[in-house]
Amino acid sequence: MQIGQITRELENWAPLHFQEDYDNCGLLVGNPETNCTGVLCSLDCTEAVIEEAIEKGCNLIVSHHPIIFKGIKQFNENSYVARTVRKAIQHNIALYAIHTNLDSILNGVNKTLADRLHLENRQILAPKPGLFDQNGTPVGSGLKGELPLETDEAEFLNWIKEKFNLTVLKHTPLTGKPLKNIGLCGGSGSFLIGAAKAQQLDCFITSDLKYHDFFEADGQLLLVDIGHGESEQWVSELIIAHLTGKFPTFAVLQSLVCTQPITYFK
């Protein structure tokens, strides 16, 4: 099987034109006509992930975050990005990123969070006008849904910690109201706070909120920041499930490298 056959299937699932203008999805390194010896899936692509791919005999790495996000002007030892890309090229390993295009579909990144919260009646939180997937479902940013039952805020925060395997989370002051309508955005979702308020959601869960972003809740909803890597920790499993469903006899492996760059001191 050629690398291009695998990447085409990824693009049937999450087309490249669904990505944001600032993003860099798709085949970043490699030749689509090369025969694929195995696929390694990860949240991030780092030097350690390249070494793992070499060890496991995989010549295609599919990561959520693109290793090449900004321009590379020098391929020297001073940049982890340049070192990672150079090592991939040296060992004939193709690099593919499926980022905001996978964020944008209803059964993409946010599904992995919604499933664990048992959200019902799911919809895209901020649909892009005129953009739909092959099933006619709107495409856009974030996801909203309903909890099966109204839930106390403190109980819900504890449930988030349990379901998302968190040691810590950040949130705005409790509103004193029960929660039913929940919004989600894996990764950085502060740009959706206005949409969450406009649609009268009771809680919005995302990451990378800055100090002043928390003021935007203005007592109208509960804002919860669970951490960037934490909000996307199941993305590689999602990719693997999709690819093994399409290519059941082909080797699609999950990276065992922890690429989380943040450590919490408790």
pLDDT tens-digit profile of 210-259?
999 999 999 999 999 999 999 999 999 999 999 999 999 999 999 999 99
37 with 25, same domain?
yes
Q: What is the pLDDT of residues 133-190, one digit of tens each?
A: 999 999 999 999 999 999 999 999 999 999 999 999 999 999 999 999 999 999 999 9
20 token code pair:
């944001």
Which domain does 156 fall in, by range?
A: 105-231
16 with 122, same domain?
no
14 with 128, same domain?
no
CATH of the domain at 210: 3.40.1390.30
pTM of structure: 0.96
pLDDT class of 266 with cuts at 50, 70, 90: confident
Report how many domains make up the chain.
Answer: 2
2 token code pair:
């050629």
73 with 115, same domain?
no
pLDDT score of 74: 82
87 with 69, same domain?
yes
178 with 221, same domain?
yes
Residue 69, domain member (yes or no): yes
130 with 215, same domain?
yes
158 with 89, same domain?
no
153 token code pair:
């805020």
pLDDT score of 77: 82
Residue 244, domain member (yes or no): no
Residue 238, domain member (yes or no): no
Provide the total of helices (H) and of strands (E) in the chain, helices listed first.
Answer: 10, 11
Stretch 3-9: mean pLDDT: 98
63 with 94, same domain?
yes
114 with 35, same domain?
no
Say how many CA atoms lie within 13 Å of 35 toward its Cβ: 2
Assess contact for 180 and 156: CB atoms under 8 A: no
152 with 98, same domain?
no
Please give the torsion angle defined by the CA atoms of residues 89, 95, 100 and 102, in that order, rounded to the nearest 10 degrees. 180
Residue 240, domain member (yes or no): no
110 with 57, same domain?
no
Residue 256, domain member (yes or no): no
| Amino acid found at 87 | K
Strands 94-97 and 138-151: unpaired
Residue 248, domain member (yes or no): no
Identify the CA nearest to 26 among candidates 101, 82, 88: 101
